[in-house]
Amino acid sequence: MIRRPFSTLLLGVMLACSAGVQTAAAQADSPVQKRSPRESYTKYEYRIPMRDGVKLFTTVYVPKDSAKPYPFLVQRTPYSAGVYAQGEQRYGVDWMPESLGPSRELEDAGYIFVTQDVRGRYMSEGVWQEMTPHAKSKRAKGEGQESEDMHDTVEWLLKHVPNNNGRVGIWGISYPGFYTAASIIDSHPAIKAASPQAPIADLYMSDDSYHGGAFMLSANFDFYSAFLPQKNPTAGNKERSRFEYGEADAYDFFLKRLTLPNILASMSDEQRELLVPTIEHDTYDEFWRSRAITPHMKNVKAAVLTVGGWFDAEDPAGPFAIYKAVGKYNPATPNALVMGPWVHGGWARGEGARLGHVSFDAKTSEYFRREIQFPFFEQHLKGVKPARALPAVTAFETGTNVWRSYAAWPPAPAKARTLYFGPNGTLAWQQPASAGNSGAGYDEYVADPRKPVPFIGYPATGVPREYMVSDQRFAATRPDVLVYQSEVLEEDVTIAGPVLSKLFVSTTGTDADWVVKLIDVYPAEYPTPPAERKGNDTGPLALKLGGFQQLVRGNPLRGKFRNSYEKPEAFTPGKQEALSFDIGDVNHSFRRGHRIMVQVQSSWFPLIDLNPQTFTHIPKARPEDFRKATQRVYRAPGAASGLQLMVMPAH
């Protein structure tokens, strides 16, 4: 039995914190000695006043070597500017973290590292707001705007922290990635570089909270059961708590409760407080529109390096949204995007050489930190000329495992082609010429919300990091999953850009989810790498890679939102309708000898919440609303379902 995975959203919380996990005294007892920042940096703590009088708690780490001036490198966070040690968030100048800033290279090069508790979190005063609205007609007392708070912080730092060179950089992962992006709108002229990493751009649109109008149940349940409201200033919770399921598998836990009201009842009042608004606002209403940051990304003066991961389960859409918004509104501003084969924040730690059973044949995270991130900040904050110019887009191509440079995203050479569903589970570039031998022109299955399709093939709580490359053979054998597969590829097929589902469907219900998954099928005779044979030959994840069905990308559409995320519409039972929805961006090469597979299903549990398959307000759905339905996917001439891919010319 494997250890139950820790929530990857909560892991993002931990990664985003600037604090280390050990005190200097604890490090001294460690058998492996690592140089402590205490040797090279002096820590200060300040309460910086904002224009409305609210004071924001800020830690500043200044190089002890004062022979030259240094730039600032700032992170603003809701996850504590303190040091997490001995089970508590520790504040005070005697508590030093294990490391400073986004990488060891930057720490060694010398920067004035700054971490700030945003309004209403931990030791900062004021009122915290979910995804702080940038344009709010009337603010309550204590509420702020992130770009104004950053402006006031920069002004104060420049005047009160000696030996600075007058240049400021910002960075942050996940929620701090949002604060980075929001902080450079109408940016202070001293801010010269910013790196929003896994930034949240719009919680509703294919980000943390909703994908295709379907609620991301498991991840949000784990996150909000630990991310709690606070009365400030406070050192916050003494422990990074996690919800105790009392079950080995979240699938069983959630299915027993079935409805969202029953699921919420399993939480305390405190755990529910921030989660309930996310669930109740299940359409794209003013609650979400006011929190979307991309329409406001204007007057950005700093050079921008946006970073994301192809296998980031939390914030897959944010990096693309921020990159495009900066380019749209600020065409003269240096603007670059990096996408690597990483989970949420995976570039900030470790080697980045593999995920689950999938190897990338390179230490991709180390490469990013050393060859991209470090030169970016050195250039814009210290004037150090980089060895090579940074391309507009640097993207890792999975499958072939190579870094690619592009002038734009998606790359101009990529052309739209459609893979069509055919009779007998076939998948081809040509539309079917007929309805097939059966004459039906469709495939169908019975979807039962009380027996939903799981999103992984093994028991776990939370969202395991490897789910986005997980083997899909467990799903391919279910009668409520349609499977379409190409012939064996004679040449590599490389796709770079958004993947668009184009379906013709009907349902006997009045609502339905349509989950589409793009899959890379390995040859039956595929050698298992030595690392697999040595370190992963037992337990639920053990398998031979011959015939492995690697998830490349998948996403749902909640059918009621097929025409609008603002105004849901019921299906007419039995009526054929056309659906078109984006399931995400990909840069992947299906290798010669592999096959391309597409799976279609109507549940993906508990990654997303259950659709009762009756047209109702799902946050208030009752057990009797959950009903079986027969779903049809059409593949006849004139109603040919398929997947549109952006296909690159052969290399």
In the prediction, which pLDDT does 447 show?
98
318: DSSP letter: H
Query: 115: closest CA among 79, 141, 150, 76?
Result: 76
Task: Flag residues of the chain having pLDDT under 70.
Answer: 1-34, 236-241, 435-438, 528-543, 651
Residues with Cβ < 8 Å from 256, sequence gap 6 or more? none
How many whole angstroms separate alpha carbon 492 and alpha carbon 191? 44
Residue with tokens 């794209």: 284
How many whole angstroms separate alpha carbon 431 and alpha carbon 105? 53
Regarding beta strands 191-197 and 303-309, do their DSSP bridges make them parallel or antiparallel, or are they unpaired?
parallel
424: DSSP letter: G
In the prediction, which pLDDT does 34 show?
62
Query: 153: closest CA among 83, 79, 76?
Result: 76
> CATH number for the 8-202+291-347 domain, one of 3.40.50.1820, 3.90.1150.10, 3.40.50.410, 3.30.360.10?
3.40.50.1820
In the prediction, which pLDDT does 530 show?
58
How many whole angstroms separate alpha carbon 208 and alpha carbon 583? 15
Token pair, residue 618, equals: 């799902």
Q: DSSP string spanning 473-537?
A: HHHHTSTTSEEEEPPPPSS-EEEEEEEEEEEEEEESSS--EEEEEEEEEPPSS-PPPHHHHHH-S
Which amino acid, residue 535? G
Which amino acid, residue 347? W
How many whole angstroms separate alpha carbon 69 and alpha carbon 65? 9
In the prediction, which pLDDT does 535 show?
45
Query: 154: closest CA among 299, 37, 18, 302?
Result: 302
Query: 381: closest CA among 112, 19, 41?
Result: 112
- Residue 65, classified by CB atoms within 10 Å of its CB into exposed (0-12), middle (13-18) or buried (19+), is exposed
Domain ranges of the chain: 8-202+291-347, 415-647
What's the whole-model pTM score? 0.93
Integer Rg of the chain from CA? 25
**Plot region of 212 (φ>0 → left; ψ -120 to 50 → alpha; else → beta):** left
Residues with Cβ < 8 Å from 624, sequence gap 6 or more? none
Cα separation values, 489 from 401, 476, 592, 650, Å: 18, 20, 5, 13
Query: Cβ(552)–Cβ(586) under 8 Å?
Result: yes
First to last CA, the chain: 44
- Residue 641, classified by CB atoms within 10 Å of its CB into exposed (0-12), middle (13-18) or buried (19+), is buried
DSSP helix/strand/coil, 149: helix
Token pair, residue 20, equals: 């280390």
Q: DSSP string spanning 286-314?
A: HHHHTT--GGG--S--SEEEEEEETT-SS
Residues with Cβ < 8 Å from 143, sequence gap 6 or more? 119, 126, 127, 129, 132, 136
Query: Cβ(473)–Cβ(549) under 8 Å?
Result: yes
Which amino acid, residue 91? Y
How many whole angstroms separate alpha carbon 74 and alpha carbon 543? 44
**C-alpha dihedral over 606, 607, 609, 614, to 10 degrees?**
-100
In the prediction, which pLDDT does 532 show?
52
DSSP helix/strand/coil, 436: coil
Token pair, residue 34, equals: 């690592």
Largest separation between any pair of C-alpha atoms in the chain: 82
In the prediction, which pLDDT does 240 show?
55
Fold category of 415-647 in CATH:
Jelly Rolls (2.60.120)
Tens digit of each residue's pLDDT (9 = 90 or more) over 221-278: 999 999 999 988 888 665 556 788 999 999 999 999 999 999 999 999 999 999 999 9
